[in-house]
């Protein structure tokens, strides 16, 4: 079975797709039966008002915005957004109230039509971290042995990382309700593409496995992960979804610098993707969401060929 992503009308992030009246200014073209605004294939449109710019970062390309609830899509929270028309950011300062349009496809999301609507306010200090740190762990660096963390996969089977020794192991961290395609959905799409490329590689390795680990065990039970996995055509002998005890999830994510403070049902998280070689040692850590599938596949092929030292 190939591992290309199944493209259909399912909700993007494990939440019901929006299907609201036309007076909401929020329309989706993904599911059938919804009011449609044609803005390109598979596009969502949302107009937000009276939002606060909490931070301007990344050379006026990414801004962190404290926004109100997007009904049936995302809770009120503070998170980064990609702005593609960068001249719209000229003159913005932390604390400015703005309005903007949010555009979401099945693979990415960004904002445009950014306009200052109100006075600059005092920026509140960032909230205290809400995620738990219950076990002292050292950071994992390249060449370090991967700890043998236990998890439960989407079939309800107990697994542990040590059982993959002898194989190249690719790890990424997600949660199924993640609403923006630039984050967890992109990691799943990347793994789907990587799976397909590894299977099609001439004289490619056979000893490899991909594991997508949810850091939301309260919601992402095995049955939920199994349903989420149906969005992607995959070879289950090479790719599983899993979660585990929060104490173990806290530990492994902290070791790779992944943070996921929670705001209601939403996690304001960063991204890490890891390649572990066939001898169980960390070979490569990809940060963020801009890494190339081809680079990941190259690292996996290299990791599969690592012999005992």
**What is the structure's pLDDT at 95?**
77
**What is the structure's pLDDT at 233?**
78
- Check whether residue 36 and residue 182 sit in a common domain: no
**What is the structure's pLDDT at 116?**
80
Token pair, residue 141, equals: 């660096």
- Check whether residue 27 and residue 111 sit in a common domain: yes
Residue matched to tokens 């990791």: 303
Beta strands 77-82 and 109-118, pairing class: unpaired
The answer to whether the CB of 73 falls within 8 A of the CB of 89 is no
| CA–CA distance, 245 with 138 (Å, rounded to integer) | 19
**What is the structure's pLDDT at 295?**
98
Q: What is the CATH number of the domain that holds 207?
A: 3.40.30.10
If we measure between CA atoms, which residue out of 297, 273, 64, 93 comes closest to residue 195? 297
The answer to whether the CB of 177 falls within 8 A of the CB of 265 is yes
Domain boundary, last residue among 63, 97, 118: 118
Domain that holds residue 203: 150-304
**What is the structure's pLDDT at 37?**
29
**What is the structure's pLDDT at 201?**
94
| CA–CA distance, 227 with 219 (Å, rounded to integer) | 12
- Per-residue burial over 59-86, b = 16 or more CB atoms within 10 Å of its CB, e = otherwise: eeeebbbebeebeebbeebbbbbbbeee
Answer whether residue 10 is part of any domain: no
Q: How far is CA 300 from CA 7, 45, 51, 70, 109, in A?
A: 26, 37, 42, 38, 28
Total count of residues recorded for the chain: 309
Domain boundary, last residue among 99, 118, 137: 118
Domain boundary, last residue among 101, 118, 135: 118
Answer whether residue 127 is part of any domain: no
**What is the structure's pLDDT at 75?**
66
Answer whether residue 76 is part of any domain: yes
Answer whether residue 126 is part of any domain: no
| CA–CA distance, 245 with 133 (Å, rounded to integer) | 13
- Check whether residue 291 and residue 159 sit in a common domain: yes
Averaged over successive runs of 10 residues, the pLDDT of the chain (309 residues) comes to 33 29 26 30 39 48 71 68 76 78 75 77 52 70 97 97 98 90 91 96 95 95 96 92 95 92 74 97 94 97 84
- Check whether residue 154 and residue 213 sit in a common domain: yes
Answer whether residue 125 is part of any domain: no
Answer whether residue 17 is part of any domain: no
How many domains are there within the chain?
A: 2
Helices 293-304 + 184-200 axis angle, to 10: 50
Q: What is the CATH number of the domain that holds 31?
A: 2.40.50.320
**What is the structure's pLDDT at 196?**
96
């Amino acid at each position: 079975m190939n591992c290309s992503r199944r493209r259909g009308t399912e909700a993007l992030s494990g939440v019901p797709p929006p299907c609201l009246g036309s007076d909401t200014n929020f329309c989706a073209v993904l599911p059938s039966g919804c009011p449609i605004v044609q803005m390109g294939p598979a596009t969502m449109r949302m107009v937000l008002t009276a939002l606060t710019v909490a931070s301007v970062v990344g050379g006026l390309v990414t801004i962190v915005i404290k926004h109100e609830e997007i009904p049936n899509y995302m809770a009120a929270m503070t998170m980064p957004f990609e702005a593609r028309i960068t001249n719209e950011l000229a003159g913005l300062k932390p604390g400015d109230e703005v309005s903007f349009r949010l555009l979401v496809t099945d693979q990415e999301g960004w904002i445009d039509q950014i306009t200052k609507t109100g006075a600059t306010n005092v920026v509140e200090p960032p909230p205290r971290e809400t995620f738990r740190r219950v076990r002292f762990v050292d950071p994992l660096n390249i060449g370090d042995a991967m700890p043998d963390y236990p998890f439960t996969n989407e079939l309800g089977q107990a697994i542990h990382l040590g059982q993959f020794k002898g194989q190249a192991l690719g790890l990424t961290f997600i949660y199924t309700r993640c609403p923006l395609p630039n984050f967890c959905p992109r990691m799943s799409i990347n793994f789907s593409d990587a799976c397909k490329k590894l299977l099609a590689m001439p004289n490619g390795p056979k000893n490899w496995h991909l594991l997508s680990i949810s850091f939301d065990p309260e919601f992402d039970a095995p049955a939920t992960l199994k349903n989420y996995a149906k969005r992607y055509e995959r070879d289950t002998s090479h790719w599983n979804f899993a979660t585990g005890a929060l104490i173990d999830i806290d530990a492994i994510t902290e070791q790779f610098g992944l943070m996921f403070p929670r705001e209601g049902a939403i996690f304001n998280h960063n991204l890490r993707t890891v390649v572990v070689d066939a001898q169980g040692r960390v070979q490569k850590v990809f940060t963020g969401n801009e890494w190339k599938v081809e680079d990941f596949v190259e690292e996996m092929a290299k990791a599969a060929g690592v012999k005992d030292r």
